[in-house]
C-alpha cells in the first residue's frame, strides 16, 4: 500500500514539474502564434516541442550529474540568448519589412532553435534526475506530453490574438520572445 501511495505521489510531483517546464512552451507559443500559423503547422511545432521535451532530459541523464551545475548555467544562458536573438529578428522584421515573415517560421532551423530553446530547462532537470531515484520513463513521457500540449494551446491562443493585432502581431510576438529571453539571461 505504501508503495502504491509513493508512486501516486511521484506521479503528481512529476506532473507538476512537467507543467512547470511546459509553461515556457505555452508562453512562447503565444508569441510565435501571433505571426500567423496554420493548424497543420501548430500540430507539427507542438509535436517537435514534445519530442524535444522528451529528448533533452534523456540527454541530461546520459551526460551525468557531475556536469549539472556548469551546464545548467550555460544552458539557461544559451537558451536566453537564442530567444533574444529570435525576438530581435522578429522585431527588426516587423519594423523593416512588414510584409515579409520572420526567420522564426515553423520550418527547418527556426523550428529546431525554437524547440531547443524552450526545452533547455528540461535538460537541466534531466541532470538533476541523474542524482535522485525517480521513474525516468514516466518523467520524460509526462514532459513530452505536457510540453506538446501546452505549446499547442499557446500557439492556438497566439494565433487568435494575432488576428486581433493584425500587422502589429509580429512586433508583439518578437517583444514577448525577447523579454522571455532577457528574463532567462538575468
Q: Determine the Cα–Cα distance for residues 119 and 8; give it in Å rounded to an integer.
A: 26
Mean pLDDT of 2-10: 64
Is the pLDDT assigned to residue 111 strictly greater than 80? yes
Alpha-carbon distance of 41 to 51, in angstroms, equals 15
- Using pLDDT thresholds of 50, 70 and 90, give the confidence band for residue 5: low
The phi-psi region of residue 64 (left if phi > 0; otherwise alpha if psi is between -120 and 50; otherwise beta) is left
Inter-residue contact 15 to 142 (CB < 8 Å):
yes
Asked if the model's pLDDT at residue 1 lies above 70, the reply is: no
Dist. CA 137–CA 158, nearest whole Å: 31
Domain residue spans of the chain: 2-185
Q: Quick: pLDDT tens for 17-45.
A: 888 888 878 888 888 888 778 899 999 99
* Average pLDDT of the segment spanning 64-79: 62
User: What predicted TM-score, i.e. pTM, was given to this entire model?
Assistant: 0.72
Amino acid at each position: 500500500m505504501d508503495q502504491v501511495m509513493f508512486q501516486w505521489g511521484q506521479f503528481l510531483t512529476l506532473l507538476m514539474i512537467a507543467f512547470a517546464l511546459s509553461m515556457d512552451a505555452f508562453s512562447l507559443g503565444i508569441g510565435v502564434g501571433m505571426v500567423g500559423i496554420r493548424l497543420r503547422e501548430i500540430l507539427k511545432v507542438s509535436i517537435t516541442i514534445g519530442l524535444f521535451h522528451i529528448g533533452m532530459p534523456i540527454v541530461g541523464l546520459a551526460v551525468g550529474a557531475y556536469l549539472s551545475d556548469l551546464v545548467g548555467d550555460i544552458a539557461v544562458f544559451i537558451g536566453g540568448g537564442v530567444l533574444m536573438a529570435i525576438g530581435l529578428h522578429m522585431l527588426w522584421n516587423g519594423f523593416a519589412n512588414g510584409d515579409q515573415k520572420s526567420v522564426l517560421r515553423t520550418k527547418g532551423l527556426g523550428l529546431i532553435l525554437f524547440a531547443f530553446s524552450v526545452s533547455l530547462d528540461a535538460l537541466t532537470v534531466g541532470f538533476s534526475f541523474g542524482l535522485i531515484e525517480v521513474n525516468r520513463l514516466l518523467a520524460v513521457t509526462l514532459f513530452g506530453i505536457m510540453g506538446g500540449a501546452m505549446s499547442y494551446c499557446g500557439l492556438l491562443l497566439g494565433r487568435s490574438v494575432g488576428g486581433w493585432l493584425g500587422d502589429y502581431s509580429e512586433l508583439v510576438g518578437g517583444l514577448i520572445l525577447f523579454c522571455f529571453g532577457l528574463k532567462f539571461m538575468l
